[in-house]
């Protein structure tokens, strides 16, 4: 795989050249020091990639000559990581790791124990920052898909909105929990498969804040058919729990 990857909005069909945005041009030419003739893969975050060569090393409007176009296979399962918003920059790291692991959507949640409150323009700025973090991670790991970064929402409405039992193949809804009756991911998948005669096409993972979900929030999730799942005997930090949860489910789905 070429060393250089850039993000681009989807070009016109059958386009033979791509002109990059000023931001991507600067990153490619100034930061990464790409030169005319260097191979570059451009991707749109929707599964399409263009194998190209740099023909104009302009730091404001770099141009790429398209050689071939390829489309990535669709994900076998859409994984949504619904994560209680942590303090500091931990959510940035969660976005990056989630992108590397191939999640389809990352949904920041406000819970009773969430200590960060985003209001007005702060939420928009944070969302832009998280999209940039996802883009950087996708460039580094070669993922042609960018996750959707959802708006901050309260956990109970999110749980209620996720409960689509009328669908022919409903999502598998999981909540990381220290609940005494929590099962393993393998057991949760086996139960779903037994009920629906197939593996899920969509999985929703709820990960709580430091201090975990309150009993009221957990009970609300259980009432809406979320399955309590253990992440092992240790109490994990929220960012560790997010990476662990997604890694395990991806491994089991591929197994």
Query: Residues of the chain with pLDDT > 70: what percent?
Result: 95
Query: Tens of pLDDT along 40-55?
Result: 999 999 999 999 999 9
Give bridge partners of residue 53 from the DSSP assignment.
39, 65
pLDDT for the residue numbered 12: 66
Superfamily the domain 4-71 falls into: Hypothetical PUA domain-like; domain 1 (2.40.240.20)
**Residues 25 and 62 sit within 8 Å (Cβ to Cβ):** yes
Question: In 113-198, which ranges are continuous DSSP H helix?
Answer: 121-141, 155-161, 185-196
Q: Where in the chain is the domain with CATH 3.40.1280.10?
A: 78-254
Between 3.10.129.10, 3.40.50.720, 3.90.1150.10, 3.40.1280.10, what CATH number should domain 78-254 receive? 3.40.1280.10
At residue 165 the predicted structure's pLDDT band, cuts being 50, 70 and 90, is low
Range list for CATH 2.40.240.20 in the chain: 4-71
E strands within 36-138? Answer: 39-43, 48-56, 63-71, 78-84, 105-110
pLDDT (average), residues 193-199: 92
| Contact between 45 and 138 (Cβ < 8 Å) | yes
Mean pLDDT, range 17-35, rounded to an integer: 95
Give the residue from 190, 205, 187 showing the smallest Cα distance to 147.
205
Q: pTM (2 decimals)?
A: 0.91
């Amino acid at each position: 795989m070429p060393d250089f990857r850039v993000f681009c909005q989807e070009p016109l069909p059958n386009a033979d050249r791509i002109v990059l945005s000023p931001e991507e041009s600067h990153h490619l030419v100034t930061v990464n020091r790409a030169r005319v003739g260097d191979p570059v893969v451009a991707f749109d975050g929707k599964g399409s990639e263009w194998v190209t060569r740099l023909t104009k090393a302009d730091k404001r409007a770099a141009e790429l000559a398209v050689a071939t176009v390829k489309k990535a296979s669709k994900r076998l399962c859409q994984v949504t990581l619904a994560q209680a918003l942590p303090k500091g920059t931990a959510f940035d790291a969660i976005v990056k790791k989630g992108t590397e692991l191939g999640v389809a959507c990352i949904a920041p949640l406000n819970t009773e124990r969430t200590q960060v409150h985003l209001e007005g323009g702060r939420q928009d700025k944070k969302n832009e920052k998280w999209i940039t973090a996802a883009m950087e991670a996708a460039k580094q790991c070669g993922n042609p898909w960018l996750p959707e970064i959802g708006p901050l929402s309260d956990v109970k409405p999110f749980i209620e909105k996720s409960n689509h039992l009328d669908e022919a193949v409903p999502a598998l809804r999981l909540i990381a929990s220290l609940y005494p009756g929590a099962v393993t991911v393998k057991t949760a998948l086996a139960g779903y498969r037994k009920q629906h005669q197939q593996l899920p096409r969509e999985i929703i993972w709820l990960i709580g804040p430091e201090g975990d979900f309150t009993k009221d929030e957990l009970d609300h999730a259980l009432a809406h058919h979320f399955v309590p799942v253990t992440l092992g005997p240790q109490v994990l930090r929220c960012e560790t729990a997010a990476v662990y949860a997604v890694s395990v489910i991806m491994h089991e789905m591929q197994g």
